[in-house]
Structure 1
Amino acid sequence: MSKRSKDTRRVYSNDLQWFFYAVSGEVSAGAVRAFLALPRIQALRVLMGYQDSLAANGYAGSTINRKVSAVKSLVEYAYRIGECEWQLPRLKREREQRYKDTTGVSVEQIRLMMAVPDRATAKGKRNYAILRLLWENGLRRGEIAKITCGEIDWEEQRITIYGKGRREEGEEIDVSDRALEAIRDWLTVRPQSEYDVLFTSLDHNTLGKPLSLTSIYRMVRRLGEKAGIKKIVSPHKIRHSAITAYLDASDGDMRGGASFARHSDLSVTQVYDDNRKRQQKKATKILSDLA
């Protein structure tokens, strides 16, 4: 697992903790050793049962595959260093449906969310700046969390982001006047911190520490609820909304949409465009009329 990115190792570590808590009720070195000491067929049954329970609880196929892969990686490593006498076979992967629901929320609902933060308060200034970046740049919460104060180019109006698929040096993106103004407003009240990250916690116990991915998710979800939006709003829902809204406003500019979303594969952006225009419904109607 040493060749994996730092983010992947962190996610796998969380997945392994989840696995051992689910199958043994505790996360400890003893639980790991007990699992690795099982006969191969028994360990396989445990992992397959875990896989089935994830599916029964509604986890996406991609998430289930990643969680199972984390366990297999642990076993492979333990086998290589002599801590385990067997390896796990290839398990049937769950079917992955990429971006099945790309609808997100409407532009009007985004406007309602933008109006929720009280920008006279520190928390309101911070949350508003995050919302602007999520919406205007389609950023993922991991990218939001890693923005640093030192890598904001005020003159060129650009920031460097790190995250999914990014190289270690990051990637520069353009930001709007409104987003920069919101960031400046937040920086006037940002607490002193030993960390260079732009967005920090304002909670008493974690004041000045980097804002966690969970905190960003919960913040967005609460703002959606306060805006009166019935569906659960997440940072990724806002990303979906931004990509779809751009395609609507640009009459389906696929290359612009892919550039905005930072999709390396144009077919991913195509999914958004197809869902936006409901191409399958049109095709079904034509075929229905023909017969």
Structure 2
Amino acid sequence: MKTIHEFLEYLQYEKNYSKETIKNYEIDLLDFESYLSVHHLTKQKLTYNDARDYVRFLSEEKKESATTVSRYISALRTYFNYLVSEDELEKNVFSLVKLPKKGKHLPKFFYYNEIREMLESIDRSTAVGQRDYLLIHLLYATGVRVSELIGIQLEDISLDRKQIKILGKGAKERYVYFDDQTKACLQIYLKEARPSLAGKKKNNDLLLNQNGGPLTARGVRYLLNKIIRKTSIEKNISPHMLRHSFATSLLNEGCDIMSVQELLGHANLSATGIYTHVTNDRLKEVYYKAMPRAKK
């Protein structure tokens, strides 16, 4: 039987999955292997009912959200498809398992005054502070995914053009752009902070940790939580919330959704649909400008 490790290598080298996706798949599949062991089950003898039981276990016993359960099912479908293609299994028992219905909700985002408060809370007198300051600027100014952020290499950045080459999902390249404030942060970081963090280590990753190695997705989440705790903002934070904030800001300022789609790196417009919410103030403004009877 092909191992999970072999499957993950297949995703990396043949399917060009991102490091973040591969890591999530690994966690989900190892959880599944533990479940099989505890319940004395094997992949070869697994039935459709067993697959449905596992999904119920995730939802009812582990109390996982619909989004997380869907991620597990997606990982397992892909894994079992791989095993079938390698003639290790005769059928994919997860192919008929239905994804749980997700409740519709507006993406959570930060207003610009909250972004500003986060930036002002950072002590920029240290190399670490300068890096954290740049971190917030990059996430908000470009809307990149955390996996894309930590993958930025020095040669990907053009300060003159104020653009960064990004390797997105499915190894698709695109360019994102940044403003003058972010450019200034980048210049200071590259000249002062990064050499201090790198020390004697040589690598081309833009964002470094305190040991001179590349910053990880987990490290980014840790730093964001550390930053927001120093503010008066009573919200949870994640890299994706800053991506939501980027998209919301553009739409509120009148940017068309097709352009937002391109900047976010979405393969189709339906994925960008969740960002078509706008703030209530903006909706009110649009209404009074457009509704004939509301015009004075």
For Structure 1 versus Structure 2, the TM-score category normalised by the shorter chain is: 0.7 to 0.9
Does the Cα contact within 8 Å between 1:138 and 1:238 map onto a contact in 2? yes
* Structure 1 position 214, deviation (Å): 1.0
Matched residue pairs, number?
262
Which one-letter code corresponds to 1:176 in the other structure? Answer: D
Aligned to 1:285: none
CA distance in 2, matches of 1:79, 1:93: 21
State whether residues 40 and 86 of structure 1, in contact with CA within 8 Å, keep that contact through their aligned partners in structure 2. no
Look up the match of 1:36: 43
1-structure distance, mates of 2:274, 2:260: 11
CA RMSD, Structure 1 to Structure 2 (Å): 2.9
Secondary structure of the 1:181 match is helix
Equivalent residue number for residue 157 of structure 2: 152
Q: Is the 8 A contact 1:15 1:70 kept in 2?
A: yes
Shift of 1:144: 0.8
Aligned pairs (5 A) from 1:1-291? 2=10, 3-7=14-18, 8-24=21-37, 35-37=42-44, 39-41=45-47, 44-56=48-60, 57=62, 59-84=64-89, 87-88=92-93, 89-96=95-102, 100-167=105-172, 170-187=173-190, 188-190=192-194, 191-192=198-199, 193-202=201-210, 207-250=211-254, 253-274=256-277, 276-277=279-280
Cα distance in 1 between the residues matched to 2:224 and 2:178: 20
Q: 1:54 to 1:224 in 2, by over 3 A?
A: farther
Change (3 A) 1:129 1:262: same
- TM-score, length-normalised on structure 2? 0.76
How far residue 80 of structure 1 moved from its aligned partner, in angstroms, is 4.4
Which consecutive residues of structure 2, in runs of 5 or more, have no partner in the other structure?
1-6, 288-296
- 1:3-27 CA distances to partner (integer Å, 9 max, x unpaired)? 42232544423321232245547xx
Q: Which moved more, 1:124-133 or 1:13-22?
A: 13-22
Which letter maps to 1:6? Answer: Y
1:129-171 CA deviation, whole Å, 9 max, x = no partner? 010011111121111101101221222222111123552xx22
Cα contact 2:36–2:42 (8 A) shared by 1: no
Identity of aligned residues (%): 24
What amino acid is the match of 2:161? E
Query: How far did 1:86 drift?
Result: 5.1
In structure 2, C-alpha distance between the alignment counterparts of 1:270 and 1:74, rounded to whole Å: 29
State how far apart, in whole Å, the 2-side matches of 1:114 and 1:104 are: 16
